[in-house]
Amino acid sequence: MSKATVIDHVFPDMPFKNASLYLNTALYQLRMALAPHGYKHIAINSQRKYRLLFEQMDVDYIKFEDAVKAFTDVVPWEKIDETLACEALYTGRIYEHADYGWAASEQARTEQLHTQLCKKLIRQLLHGQRAEHAASLAHKLIARNELDEDAHLMLVQSYLAMNDTASAKRHYARFSEIYEDELGLPLPPAASQIFAQLHSRPK
């Protein structure tokens, strides 16, 4: 990546001379941080361009993204445990506790990738009769976004698959409360089928 591109992304509101100094300082600090681990040489700058050589490193961030990109629609069952391990690499937003404006778009992008991966995994886990794992992932999505209707319905489906009708009904009631009472919105159409399943179960 060219020096001008890096500066435009990382120091967009700073005069070029100052930004150039900050960039050189950041590169030096990066090399010093990598040196004790034997990776100082992977940070390269040459002809006003910058590059990081990741070939020799096992980077969880890249590993997670590669796992998401590998499955466009369905996670193959034979890859389910491998993909669950990759899902576990996502432990929260990158630079979550630092106020880096340039990282906001990357935080949103990777969070969306994680959400998509979890939902693909949940569908396969339910199909493969591993409802407890599916419920765990659905809980994770709801904790991050309480308005994710897919995650709520997937959690109810997980409880039903576990024959835990009581928990399914409790969570469905909470789901209804969020939409109808707190948001003033009707339940999504997909909820009707789940509602029918719930009321066909014994109390």
For the residues 53-78, what does the mean pLDDT come to?
Answer: 81
If asked whether residues 117 and 79 sit together in one domain, one would say: yes
* pLDDT tens column, 100-121: 877 888 899 999 999 999 999 9
Say which residue, 187 or 150, is predicted with more confidence: 150
Biggest alpha carbon–alpha carbon distance for the chain: 72
- Domain span at residue 146 reads 131-203
- Provide the pLDDT confidence category of residue 153 given band limits of 50, 70 and 90: very high
- Provide the pLDDT confidence category of residue 203 given band limits of 50, 70 and 90: low
How far apart (Å, rounded) are the C-alpha atoms in residues 114 and 202?
36
For the residues 163-186, what does the mean pLDDT come to?
Answer: 86
* pLDDT tens column, 66-104: 878 877 677 888 889 988 998 999 988 888 887 787 788
In percent, the amount of the chain with pLDDT more than 90 equals: 49
If asked whether residues 117 and 73 sit together in one domain, one would say: yes
Domain end: 89, 106, 128, which one? 128
Domain end: 22, 37, 52, which one? 52
If asked whether residues 107 and 140 sit together in one domain, one would say: no
For the residues 9-24, what does the mean pLDDT come to?
Answer: 91
Backbone angles phi, psi at 2, to 5 degrees: -70, 155
Say which residue, 177 or 201, is predicted with more confidence: 177
At 85, the amino acid letter reads A
pTM, 2 dp: 0.75
CA distances, 44 to each of 12, 47, 132 (Å): 22, 10, 46
If asked whether residues 145 and 199 sit together in one domain, one would say: yes
If asked whether residues 100 and 151 sit together in one domain, one would say: no
If asked whether residues 45 and 75 sit together in one domain, one would say: no
Closest CA to 168 of 186, 179, 152, 189: 152
pLDDT of 202 reads 62
If asked whether residues 151 and 172 sit together in one domain, one would say: yes
pLDDT of 26 reads 92
Cβ neighbourhood burial of 143 (10 Å; 0-12, 13-18, 19+): exposed
What is the domain count for the chain?
A: 3
Asked whether 194 and 176 are in contact (CB, 8 A), the reply is no
- Provide the pLDDT confidence category of residue 201 given band limits of 50, 70 and 90: low
Q: Where are the alpha helices (DSSP H) in the chain?
A: 3-10, 16-34, 60-70, 80-87, 104-127, 131-144, 149-161, 165-176, 190-200
Average pLDDT, the chain: 88
Measured at the alpha carbon of residue 62, what is the angle toward residues 59 and 68, in degrees to the nearest 5? Answer: 140
In percent, the amount of the chain with pLDDT more than 70 equals: 97
Domain end: 76, 94, 128, which one? 128
If asked whether residues 91 and 139 sit together in one domain, one would say: no
Backbone angles phi, psi at 88, to 5 degrees: -65, -15
pLDDT of 199 reads 65
**Backbone Cα Rg of the chain:** 23
Report which DSSP code applies to 162.
T
